[in-house]
Amino acid sequence: MPEGPEIRRAADQVEKALLKGTVLDVYFAFDQLKGYESILKGASVKKVDTKGKAMLIRFDNGYTIYSHNQLYGKWYVRNAYNYPKNNRQLRLALHNEKKSALLYSASDIEVLRDEEVPLHPFVAKVGPDLLSEEVTAEQLKERFQSKAFSGKKWTSLLLDQSFIGGIGNYLRSEILFLAGIHPDYRPKDCSEEQLERAAEATITMVTQSYKYNGITNDLELAMKLKEEGKTRREYRHWVFNREAQPCRIDGTEIQKMKAGSRRLYFCPTCQTKLK
Ligand SMILES: [Zn+2]
């Protein structure tokens, strides 16, 4: 499943393609959206925002396309009308003179008036998006300590889109490892120092994954492993997908567990309990 950094990268591509000129042609697969084709045709895209795993394509005529890729949605940006060969179903297409932005397989697509966007149930509930908003480590730490979140386990918080938008399963394992926090912990079990590390680790992992194509491992180490001929799966992460392999810090075997019915990976010696 794509996480925030993947959606932000797709949004960058869509934005780059669509800022180039008026949208000349619009296609929606769903009947209830067909009426918007003529409304959006001839308008220009001002900006493409993300809210966690949702994308907001903002037009200059007061309308915004909301889309959420869920498990299967995938964006393609191609030269105009140059459709990729795949078995997916085209759900939304936006064409200008040079480019086409094509959304396949997604079913969660809506067209909203700009003023309706903040009221949309997902947008209204989703937490801060670290790739679209300025969020400091200090603000995140306060969020960790707030009444709404401090008593819940990190493992469920980090997948809760109302906590922080855009974090998913691989980022969850990687953030907890980098912060040195045991997966059974809640923010209120953590020391001040751990909370600070958790805030820094969250920002570092999300932005690094965005900038470096999903690589959350130490960048120098990842480069070195790549040069040695290791596969992407082998060099990409600190702990995720690395069950029974040696921890990159202390050599302990990485363990795999289930948390919230999703896979979680951790190092039992780097992520110990304090008491
Ligand atoms: Zn370790």
> Residue 274 has what pLDDT?
74
Q: Is 3 among the catalytic positions?
A: yes
| Res. 207: pLDDT tops 70 | yes
Separation CA 64–CA 49 (nearest Å): 10
| Res. 1: pLDDT tops 80 | no
Burial code (b: 16+ CB inside 10 Å, e: under 16) for 165-178 equals bbbbbbbbbbbbbb
| Res. 36: pLDDT tops 80 | yes
Q: Is the dihedral of CA 232, 238, 243, 244 positive or negative?
A: positive
Using 50, 70 and 90 to split pLDDT, how confident is the model at 275? low
| Res. 192: pLDDT tops 70 | yes
> Residue 71 has what pLDDT?
83
Angle at 36 between CA 49 and CA 124, to 5 degrees: 40
> Residue 200 has what pLDDT?
97
> Residue 199 has what pLDDT?
98
Query: Mean of the per-residue pLDDT values for the chain?
Result: 96
269 CA distance to ligand 1 centroid (A)? 5
Q: Is 211 among the catalytic positions?
A: no
CA–CA distances in Å: residue 144 to residues 16, 129, 266: 35, 15, 21
> Residues with Cβ within 5 Å of ion ligand 1?
247, 249-250, 252, 267, 270
86 CA distance to ligand 1 centroid (A)? 41
Considering the candidates 9, 51, 53, 236, report the single residue annotated as catalytic: 53
182 CA distance to ligand 1 centroid (A)? 11
Type of residue numbered 47: K
- 24: nearest Cα among 49, 46, 45: 45
Separation CA 18–CA 37 (nearest Å): 16
* Residues in a beta bridge with 49: 56
Under DSSP, the state recorded for 228 is: T
255 CA distance to ligand 1 centroid (A)? 10
249 CA distance to ligand 1 centroid (A)? 5
Separation CA 14–CA 12 (nearest Å): 6
252 CA distance to ligand 1 centroid (A)? 5
Cβ distance 2 to 34 under 8 Å?
A: no
- Mean local confidence (pLDDT), 64-87: 94
In terms of Cβ atoms closer than 10 Å to its own Cβ (0-12, 13-18, 19+), residue 153 is middle
Q: Is 232 among the catalytic positions?
A: no
Per-residue DSSP letters for 28-75? ESSGGGTTHHHHHTT--EEEEEEETTEEEEEETTSEEEEEE-TTT-EE
Considering the candidates 74, 153, 186, 262, report the single residue annotated as catalytic: 262
pTM score, whole prediction: 0.88
> Residue 145 has what pLDDT?
97
